[in-house]
Every structure is written in structure tokens, then in C-alpha cells.
Homo-oligomer: A and B are copies of this chain.
């Protein structure tokens, strides 16, 4: 059994990106520039955005963090957010930008996603990028699915003709990952099944998987009896569960019962340190791609 080391792969990719950036700068080109908009003080979002800023530094990118306060008493005016998005859309110095989700409930998240210029949508959330990804055209791929595909590529895990079962049909993981892995591509060319809350005989279907992807957000949901011996298991879950022994008061738990499942696998991603670090990595790759597109 091989533990897929997302932390190491992520560090490798960031080093590769940094080398390309330095070569670009040596040629007189601008550093890629990623901007992030953060609304309010959601704990998870603060952490993610901090990680993104740090990753920009590691890759030699310029980064800008734009913060908006928003409380129940003084909610952010959505028009103010939209005006900032328009400014970033128009700013030739910004290659790509993200609006960290989730947003406060009074803001229409989908309208915000669609306001981002597709050419700067390095999260790959705009319908144009989602559609192009499904059709198989060049686009910004959703960050988490792209990170998973990169792990499969770097660990030489065959996908062609293999059965991939994805548990969870979210718009940011399950659906776009299915779209990527069913394309005539390498990695890709897989026979993909998407399962969800309405699926009957879920355990049976999971046992058919050569590659089982858990992305439903229920800690420990995938048990050993649901996994075919020798399968590759990709755990996308990152649920915060209370842990009094940690300084933070919580720890991350995946969707897979790791201790019971891992002995049966050929490959498995741990939580943390598996898929997680790859998501930010994909964001960096998308930002570099956006910068290259302007060459």
C-alpha cells in the first residue's frame, strides 16, 4: 500500500512553478498576479486564503488580498463587491482572482461567480469554464478535481478503461471530476459512475471501483467493506471535528475510515496531506496559465 503524499507533490509542483516564474522574470515578463477577495471572517476561509497567499510567495507570484467586513448588523453591500470584481476584471496587472466561498447568505453566490471574467476565473467556477471542461476544451479546471487528476498522473495510477466511482455530486468536486476523468485524455478515459444521497446499493457500487473517490463531507463514511482489495482511494473530505488535545480545538477528518481501509488499498490519500494541498497547487497552475495566455 502506498500513501499518496499530496504535501510532497504539491511542494514539487510549486517548485516547478517557481522555476518557470523566475525564467519568465529573467525574460522580462511580469510575475503572475493572483488576487483574492475575502468577505467576513469565516474560520475556514481565513485559513484557506492565508494558505493561498503563502503559496503565491512560494511560487514567486504577486498576490493581493482584498478584505470586506460583513456582519449581521453591517452587511456588505453586494454592489460594492461587484464593483471590486469589475475593477479586477479590468485590471491588466491581475492575471486571475478568486472570491473565497462561502459568502454571507445575503449575497447571491452564483451572481458573484458569473461576474468574474472567465479568462480570470482561476477557480474554474464560471459556467463557461464548467461547460468547456465538460466539452473537453482548454479552460481553467476546477481546482480540487485538477489536483486529484495531478496526483493520479504523478503516481502513474492507470485510469484508462478503469472504473471510477465518485461519491458526492457537488459542483466543485464530484461533477467536474467526473467530467475530467471521462474525457479522452490521459489521465482520463475512465468509466465513471457518480453516486449521491439518492443512490441505492451504494456499498455494492463502491466495491466495483478501481478508483474510489469520497467527496461527500461525512467523516469516516467509507468503510473497509465498501472497498475492493487493491483499489485506489481518494479522500476529499475535510470535516473539522472537535479535538480538545489540539491547540486549534479541532482536527480534520476525511470521508474514509482510514485505519480500516488503508490496508486494503494499493494507493490512498491521507487527510490531511493528501488532496488538500493539491487544491491550492491547481490554483497556482491556473494562475500561471492565465499569465501565459497573455504572453
A171 interface neighbour in B135, B175, B194, Cβ under 8 Å: B135
Residue with the greatest number of chain B CB neighbours at <10 A, chosen from A129, A195, A198: A198
A184-228: which have CB < 8 Å to B? 184, 189-196, 198-200, 205
Indicate whether A62 reaches chain B with its CB closer than 8 angstroms: no
A161-201: which have CB < 8 Å to B? 161-163, 169, 171, 175-176, 178-179, 182, 184, 189-196, 198-200
Contact A182 B161 (CB under 8 A): no
Indicate whether A44 reaches chain B with its CB closer than 8 angstroms: no
Interface of A is mostly: mixed
Which B residue's beta carbon lies closest to that of A193?
B193
Q: Mark A118-151, 1 if CB is under 8 A from B, else 0.
A: 0000000011111111111100000000000000
Indicate whether A30 reaches chain B with its CB closer than 8 angstroms: no
Indicate whether A264 reaches chain B with its CB closer than 8 angstroms: no
Contact A134 B137 (CB under 8 A): no
Asked, given contacts A191-B199, A193-B193, whether A131 binds B137 with beta carbons under 8 Å apart, the answer is no
Determine the chain B residues whose CB is within 8 A of the CB of A132 once the complex forms.
Answer: 127, 130-131
Indicate whether A251 reaches chain B with its CB closer than 8 angstroms: no
Asked, given contacts A191-B199, A199-B191, whether A110 binds B137 with beta carbons under 8 Å apart, the answer is yes
Determine the chain B residues whose CB is within 8 A of the CB of A175 once the complex forms.
Answer: 134-135, 179, 182
A134 interface neighbour in B131, B191, B196, B200, Cβ under 8 Å: B131
Determine the chain B residues whose CB is within 8 A of the CB of A191 once the complex forms.
Answer: 193-196, 198-200, 205
Indicate whether A7 reaches chain B with its CB closer than 8 angstroms: no
A198–B199 Cα distance when bound, in Å, is: 25
Q: Mark A150-165, 1 if CB is under 8 A from B, else 0.
A: 0000000000111100
Q: Mark A98-132, 1 if CB is under 8 A from B, else 0.
A: 00000000000010000000000000001111111
Asked, given contacts A110-B137, A194-B191, A194-B192, whether A200 binds B161 with beta carbons under 8 Å apart, the answer is yes
Determine the chain B residues whose CB is within 8 A of the CB of A135 once the complex forms.
Answer: 127, 130, 171, 175
Contact A182 B162 (CB under 8 A): no
Determine the chain B residues whose CB is within 8 A of the CB of A182 once the complex forms.
Answer: 169, 175, 194, 196
A160 interface neighbour in B179, B189, B198, B205, Cβ under 8 Å: B198
Binding site for B on A (CB under 8 A): 110, 126-137, 160-163, 169, 171, 175-176, 178-179, 182, 184, 189-196, 198-200, 205
Interface contacts beyond A127-B131, A130-B131: sample of 14 additional A-B pairs, CB < 8 Å, sorted by A: A110-B137, A127-B128, A127-B130, A127-B132, A131-B131, A131-B133, A160-B198, A161-B198, A162-B200, A175-B182, A184-B196, A184-B198, A191-B195, A191-B196
